[in-house]
C-alpha cells in the first residue's frame, strides 16, 4: 500500500494502530470539493437575478440567501470527504469535550458517505438520462451558455462515484 504524508494514528481497545491512506485516495478527497465548486460559482449569479443565458428565478427577497446557502452547504458537504482520509474521520479530535480521543465507529462514516455517494450518483444518472433523451429542451440556455451549463453540471456528476470510491477505501482501511 502506498503511504502518504498523513499517517493516521487512532487508538482503540488494542492500543495504538497505524493506518496509511493511499495516495490516490488523498487525491480523490482533494478532487471532490473541486468538482462541486464550479456549479456553486455558476449558481451564484442566478440568485442575484442574472439568468446565465436561460430563465431567471422569479424575483424574491430570499433568492440570494437561498442560492448562497445552497452553494455553501454543497461545498461543506463536499469538504466532509476529507474525513475519509484524515485522522478526525477515525478518532474524535482531543479538543472535543467529553468525546475527544474516542474511536469513531466505522459505520458512522461509511453509512452516510455511502448514502450520499449513492444519492449523488443517482442524480448524475438522472442528469445523463435527461441530457441524452430530452437534449436541448432540458437546458433552456443559448448555445454557448448551454455548453457551459453542461460542463459545470457534468463535473458535479463525478461527486457521487468519487465519494463511493473514497468510502470503499475508508472501509477497507478501517476493517483491518
CA distance 24 to 12: 26
- Cβ partners under 8 Å of residue 90, min gap 6: 8, 10, 19, 103, 104, 174
CA distance 120 to 80: 14
| Per-residue pLDDT tens over the stretch 58-92 | 778 888 899 999 999 999 999 999 999 999 999 99
pTM: 0.82
Copy the grid coordinates of residue 50. 442574472
| Per-residue pLDDT tens over the stretch 12-47 | 433 333 468 999 999 999 999 999 999 999 888 888
CA distance 117 to 5: 26
CA distance 156 to 34: 9
Amino acid at each position: 500500500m502506498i503511504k502518504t504524508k498523513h499517517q493516521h494514528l487512532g487508538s482503540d481497545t488494542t492500543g495504538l494502530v497505524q493506518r496509511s491512506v493511499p495516495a490516490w485516495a488523498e487525491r480523490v478527497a482533494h478532487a471532490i470539493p473541486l468538482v462541486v465548486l464550479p456549479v456553486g460559482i455558476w449558481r451564484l449569479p442566478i440568485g442575484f437575478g442574472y439568468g446565465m443565458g436561460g430563465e431567471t428565478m422569479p424575483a424574491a427577497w430570499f433568492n440570494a440567501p437561498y442560492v448562497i446557502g445552497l452553494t455553501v452547504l454543497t461545498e461543506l458537504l463536499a469538504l466532509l470527504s476529507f474525513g475519509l482520509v484524515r485522522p478526525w474521520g477515525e478518532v474524535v479530535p482531543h479538543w472535543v469535550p467529553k468525546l475527544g480521543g474516542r474511536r469513531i465507529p466505522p459505520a458512522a462514516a461509511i453509512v452516510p458517505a455511502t448514502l450520499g455517494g449513492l444519492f449523488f450518483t443517482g442524480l448524475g444518472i438522472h442528469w445523463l438520462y435527461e441530457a441524452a433523451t430530452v437534449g436541448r429542451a432540458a437546458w433552456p440556455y443559448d448555445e454557448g451558455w448551454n455548453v457551459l451549463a453542461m460542463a459545470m453540471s457534468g463535473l458535479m456528476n463525478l461527486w457521487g462515484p468519487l465519494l463511493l470510491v473514497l468510502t470503499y477505501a475508508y472501509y477497507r482501511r478501517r476493517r483491518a
